[in-house]
Amino acid sequence: MKAMVIDKYGKVPLRLAEVPLPEIDEYEVLTEIHAASINPLDFRIRNGEVKLLINYKMPLVLGNDFSGIVTKVGKKVTGFRVGDEVYGRPRESKIGTFAEYISVHEDDIALKPENLSFEEAASIPLVGLTSYQALHEILQLQKGQKILIHAGAGGVGTIAIQLAKLMGATVATTASEASRELVRSLGADEIINYKTDKFEDILESYDATFDTLGGKTLEKSFTVLKDGGKVISISGLPNARFAKERGLGFLKTMLLSVVSKKLTTLEKKQNVQYRYLFMKPSGEQLRIIADFIESGKIEPVIDRVFSFEDAQKAIEYSESGRAKGKIILKIR
C-alpha cells in the first residue's frame, strides 16, 4: 500500500513509499482510510519532540487520526463489522494514518457521525478527544465558570470553544481580527486580538486556561487565573506529575521535574495547578462526541482539503499557522 513516511527525525520532507499492508490481531480491525487530518502533533513527532515519551522506529508512517471503512475484523472483535464507516485516533504505538490502510484496536474507534463526510469526520478524533479530555476529565469545567481558550480558530480551539459552551462556561479566546467572526459564531463570549492586545492585561479571576501554544503564552496564562485555578497545556512541557501518572520511571520523572521547573515555580507563585495533556485514544468518548455532532451541538471546521500526494504541502501549511480549523488529507 502507499504511505507517507519519514526516514529520520528532524524537519525532513515526507516521502511517498510502498509499505506492507498492516496485519491485524484478534482485537483489531483493518480499515481502508478515506481521509486523515493534519495535526501539530504530526510535525512534533517528525521533529523528534516527543522522543522522551515514545521513540518510533524508522521508517515511520505519520498521521494521528482518520476516517474510513472497515475491511477486515479480528476474531475477537465484537463492536464492528466489515463495511462499517468509522473514525478514530489510533493509540500512540500504532499511528500511521497517512496511508491507504491502518490496523487499529476496536477500542480506539467509533462509528463515524452519520451526518458527516469522510473528510469532515477525519477532522474530529484528535482535536475532539483532546478537548473532551481537557475540559471534562482534567479541568472538570462547571456551568458558570470562566475559561480562556488560546488560538480559538485553530483545530483544537474550534472544537474546545463549542464544547465549553455546551458545558455552560463563559469563554474567552485569542484570535486574529480575520478570525473574529468565526470564533464568535462558535460561541466565544470575549475575543482578544492577540496582534494588538495582551490577554494578560485584560482578563482576571478566570477558573481555567486551555493552552495550545506553549512558551510565553503559557507562562502568561498563569496570571489570569483565580486562586486554585487550573491551566492545562498540550504544547507546554510535561512535568513530574505527568511523568508519575504515565509511569515513566525515576530518571524521566527527575528530568521532567528539572526542565519544567519554571512552570512549577509559576504554579506555586500563582497558587494554581498546571497539567500537561497527552491525549489518549477512546472509542467510547468518540461515540459521545458523535452524538454531539449528530444532534447539531458541535460541528467541524475545515480550512482546506489536500490530496494525498500533497501531504508535504499540507504539513507546511499547518506549520505556517494560518489555518482556521482543520487541514485534511483526502486519501481516496
Output the pTM of the full model: 0.95
pLDDT at 182 over 90: yes
- β-pairing, 2-6 vs 15-18, is antiparallel
- Mean pLDDT of all residues in the chain? 96
3-state secondary structure (DSSP) of residue 124? coil
Instruction: Report the distance separating Cα 46 and Cα 7, nearest Å.
Output: 10
What's residue 3's pLDDT?
Answer: 98
Which residue from 106, 124, 47, 111 is spatially nearest to 287, judged by alpha carbons?
Answer: 111
Q: Give the chain's radius of gyration (CA, Å).
A: 19
What's residue 78's pLDDT?
Answer: 96
**Helix, strand, coil % in the chain, rounded to nearest 5:** 35, 25, 40
Calculate mean pLDDT across residues 306-316: 97
Look-up: residue for cell 477558573? 207
What's residue 53's pLDDT?
Answer: 83
pLDDT at 39 over 90: yes
Query: The C-alpha cell of 201 is what?
Result: 492585561
Q: Please report which confidence band the pLDDT of residue 203 belongs to, taking 50, 70 and 90 as the band edges.
A: very high
Structure confidence by residue, pLDDT tens digits, 85-126:
999 999 999 999 999 999 999 999 999 999 999 999 999 999
Calculate mean pLDDT across residues 217-235: 96
pLDDT at 175 over 90: yes
pLDDT at 242 over 90: no
Which residue from 170, 163, 171, 187 is spatially nearest to 285, judged by alpha carbons?
Answer: 163
Instruction: Report the distance separating Cα 106 and Cα 100, nearest Å.
Output: 18
Q: How many CB atoms lie within 10 A of CB 212?
A: 26
3-state secondary structure (DSSP) of residue 68? strand
